[in-house]
Structure 1
Amino acid sequence: MTTAQLPHGHSIARTARREIPRLLQRFLLAMALTACAVPAIASNPEQAPASTTAQATVATLAPADSVASIDLASPDNAPLAEQIAALQAAPTTTSRIRTVLQRAFALLGTPYRWGGTNPDSGFDCSGLVGYVFRTIGIDLPRVSRAMANEGTAITDRAALVEGDLVFFGKRGRVDHVGIYVGEGKFVHAPRTGRDVTVSSLASGYWSQKYLQARRLAADT
């Protein structure tokens, strides 16, 4: 472009002298805005602490979750920790039955497995009961229906004592067994997808399915 082609007689040199200060102003303004924005991002009070808090929460909860195989806060298990300590120290509980209770409580949280008979592979209901009683030298039949013929029948539910076997089913046919641990509760391996746990005889599903109880010779 020549000087003659510029409007109003402006020359290239005069136009360049006007444009350079404008560009310089824009550049300096952009630099100033960037300098102000960087500290604001670095000092954001919400972003960094939120991440730190989340990591702290995970670090706090993970160990507890990995250890807690059984929910002690559930309705069935709410006073379980105190109950375990009381039963183990109860003067009316024989040493053999105390061993049964201790072994059963130690297995809380073991996964259910149909046909399972040991803590490595998991337990079904009769597998758990048989395993626990073998620790005191008592061999029981493999299935719950056959276990229901062992020992002495306890006809009054109010007369149950620690270590009694409690049986459940429908239409008079036994299909489940657990170990009574006192205070209206029993330990058992419920079903697929559930772990060895403590449930109540006082109300709910198992109260309705209760059929009978048996007391083995080891209880006396």
Structure 2
Amino acid sequence: MGGNTTPIYDTDRGRFDGDTEYDRAVGPMQFIPSTWAGPSGADGNDDGKKDPNNAYDAALGTALYLCGTGTIDLNDQAQARRAILRYNASGQYADDVLGHIREYDQLSLASLGSQTTAPGKAGKVIKLALAQRGAKYVWGGGDIHGPTKGGFDCSGLLVYAYYQGAGVTLPRTSQAMRGAGESVTRSGLLPGDLIVFNNDGNWGHVGLYIGNGQMVHAPNPRTSVETASVTTGEWARPDWAIRRVL
């Protein structure tokens, strides 16, 4: 995987992989026998054996291999990336895995489609914002009528959705949105609320909370409009200013 074709010569005499010339990846987590023979080999189902072809053993072994012997927080993107690179020292591989993690975090939204369980105006605002998933990020893009310059930035997306869905005119920047409406605590967060994030020391990002621990937002020039978790990962860590404008 990841384009790594370096040959690894046999270390287990074919015990796990049936090959006495080379070590080959085995089991559901594709361990090389020499790796399994190190500290990663584990007995995940307490049967007294450490077998990389056993799903329980392989799953526990993977956790040990990724996390190592120290404390690690896989919700931290930098630490998660380092862990993945331990598994396969390929930047492209790490990018792909982190991308799949983000997709998995968003699976709870699959049933939403163009629908929303939020009532009234909040539901209309969310529906409009979700309909823009895949739209290009453009700094300064978006107004009350829709995308401008070919897309949206984070605040432009919400300016559009709130105006068209609820007739609410929001300030144009995330910094100004921090003062819109009324303040809400994290425990009181409801679908339709704004979350302004202090991820850059300048309250420079904003998203629309849609429920189920998710928001829709326009994150950056590398990523189009998408949904993302606000209960785990990078958006759970910054300071928030939650504003209710509906």
Q: Using structure 1 for the length normalisation, give the TM-score.
A: 0.60
- 1:82 equivalenced with 2:107 (yes/no): no
**Contact (CA 8 Å) 1:72, 1:80: kept in 2 or not?**
no
- 1:173 equivalenced with 2:198 (yes/no): no
Q: Relative to 1, partners in 2 of residues 1:193 and 1:73: Cα closer, same or farther, differing over 3 Å?
A: closer
Secondary structure at the aligned position of 1:209 is classed as coil
Q: Aligned-pair distance for 1:83?
A: 3.7
Q: Aligned-pair distance for 1:73?
A: 7.9
- 1:138 equivalenced with 2:163 (yes/no): no
**Contact (CA 8 Å) 2:197, 2:239: kept in 1 or not?**
yes
Picking from 89, 105, 109, the partner of 2:130 is 105
Map of 1:25 onto structure 2: none
Larger Rg: 1
Q: Deviations over 1:164-208 (max 9, x none)?
A: 000111476311001000011100000012100011111111111
Q: Aligned-pair distance for 1:119?
A: 2.9
Residues of 2 paired with 1:171 and 1:191: CA distance? 13
- 1:150 equivalenced with 2:180 (yes/no): yes
**Contact (CA 8 Å) 1:72, 1:78: kept in 2 or not?**
no
Residues of 1 paired with 2:199 and 2:227: CA distance? 21
Q: Relative to 1, partners in 2 of residues 1:210 and 1:182: Cα closer, same or farther, differing over 3 Å?
A: farther
Task: Give the structure with the larger helix fraction.
Answer: 1
1:208-219 mapped onto 2 (5 Å cutoff): 208-216=237-245, 218=246
Q: Aligned-pair distance for 1:84?
A: 4.4
Q: Aligned-pair distance for 1:72?
A: 11
Map of 1:119 onto structure 2: 147
Picking from 205, 209, 214, the partner of 2:234 is 205
Q: Deviations over 1:45-82 (max 9, x none)?
A: xxxxxxxxxxxxxxxxxxxxxxxxxx898123112121
**Contact (CA 8 Å) 1:107, 1:196: kept in 2 or not?**
yes
Map of 1:65 onto structure 2: none
**For this pair of structures, how many residues does the alignment match?**
143
Residue range with higher mean Cα deviation, 158-167 or 93-102? 93-102
**Contact (CA 8 Å) 1:152, 1:215: kept in 2 or not?**
yes
| Structure 2: runs of 5+ lacking an equivalent | 1-99
| Structure with more contact order per residue of length (Cα contacts < 8 Å, sep ≥ 6) | 1
Name the aligned partner's letter for residue 180 of structure 2: E
Task: Give the structure with the larger strand fraction.
Answer: 1
| Structure 1: runs of 5+ lacking an equivalent | 1-70
Residues of 1 paired with 2:108 and 2:211: CA distance? 12
Picking from 129, 132, 141, the partner of 2:158 is 129
1:61-72 mapped onto 2 (5 Å cutoff): none
Secondary structure at the aligned position of 2:103 is classed as coil
Secondary structure at the aligned position of 2:161 is classed as helix
What value does the CA root-mean-square deviation take over the aligned residues? Answer: 2.3
Q: Using structure 2 for the length normalisation, give the TM-score.
A: 0.54
Residues of 2 paired with 1:199 and 1:104: CA distance? 13
